[in-house]
Amino acid sequence: MKKLYGVTTAMITPFTQAGEVDYEAFERLTDFLIRRGVQCLYPCGTTGEMYHLSVAERERIAETVINQAAGRVTVYIHVGAMDQQETITLARHALENHADGVGIVTPSFFGVTDRELFHYYSTIAQTLPDDFPVYLYNIPQCSANDLKPDTVRRLAEDCPNIVGIKYSLPDLLRTDEYLHIRKDFLVMHGTDRLFLPLLAMGCSGTVSGVSNVYPELFVAVYKAWLAGDLKKAREMQTFATEACNLLKSGENMSYFKHGLMHRHVDGGSMRAPQMGLSVEENAKLMEELAEAESRWPKGLLIED
């Protein structure tokens, strides 16, 4: 059973200017990230504009990333959807196409009770084999529904394939509660700017949107942490935090796509109603990224 760890990139979804998913760009992005050392790939989540995608598109994206990765890194597919049956359909598809596991965000927009959340996740988990790992995904600032520690504990006890959670609110006290659910229950975090302190707390890694553009920075933090070189890990985290601030940490996914273009990778367009940056915004971002890179250690960024 492969679990999430280290630098897990929450992949963007490249769209053509006509608004279609660009699967060839997905293949190139997959290779770009793997060559720069990320441990895991995680498409079709929040950073991937999941709710802008049809079931058919999400299934083809999953197949594209799994096939292009070809076992070189762990691949989890985010399968959370607006209704339970669609989530089950996507989860079964990920299983049948040899994903290493799935992540499932809480239901969104409509309020759900703790009892409903428990039923939702346990029902989905029971449709999957016990050895096929499932990560819960809690991002209450977007979904408007919160997975409380007591509910998570019950799910971890009742469903052997629920092995961890991705938490995307920078609440360290709640993070600590999740870390004490069970000794082998793993916590991945989505707050890129806190990657190093979250590792120190006991988190297994980050599910990072900013690492689409600068995977090397986060990989450098993780490698230094594993090596016990706290001084270097802090230095690398400083650079990673600077990248987070310049790219707005996912508040606007178009920053990631324009940032990829800066690195000569086709990030594609946004899908309406979201739009790309204006000419002025893009010019400012390109200048800021180039200036930041000029201050980072030479050789830190890997260029093809």
Calculate the CA dihedral of residues 57, 61, 62, 67 and round it to 10 degrees.
140
Residue 195 CA, chain-centre distance (Å), reads 13
In terms of Cα–Cα distance, which of 67, 64, 88, 91 is closest to 77? Answer: 91
Q: Which position among 76, 120, 137, 214 bears the catalytic label?
A: 137
3-state helix, strand, coil in the chain (%, to 5): 50, 15, 40
In sequence order, the 6+-apart residues with CB closer than 8 A to the CB of 1 are 101, 131, 132, 133, 163
In terms of Cα–Cα distance, which of 196, 203, 188 is closest to 138? Answer: 188
In terms of Cα–Cα distance, which of 261, 220, 256 is closest to 238? Answer: 220
**Catalytic residue check, 166:** yes
Ramachandran assignment for 100, one of left (phi > 0), alpha (psi -120 to 50 degrees), beta (any other): alpha
**Catalytic residue check, 284:** no
Q: Which position among 166, 167, 178, 214 bears the catalytic label?
A: 166
Give the residue numbers marked as catalytic.
137, 166
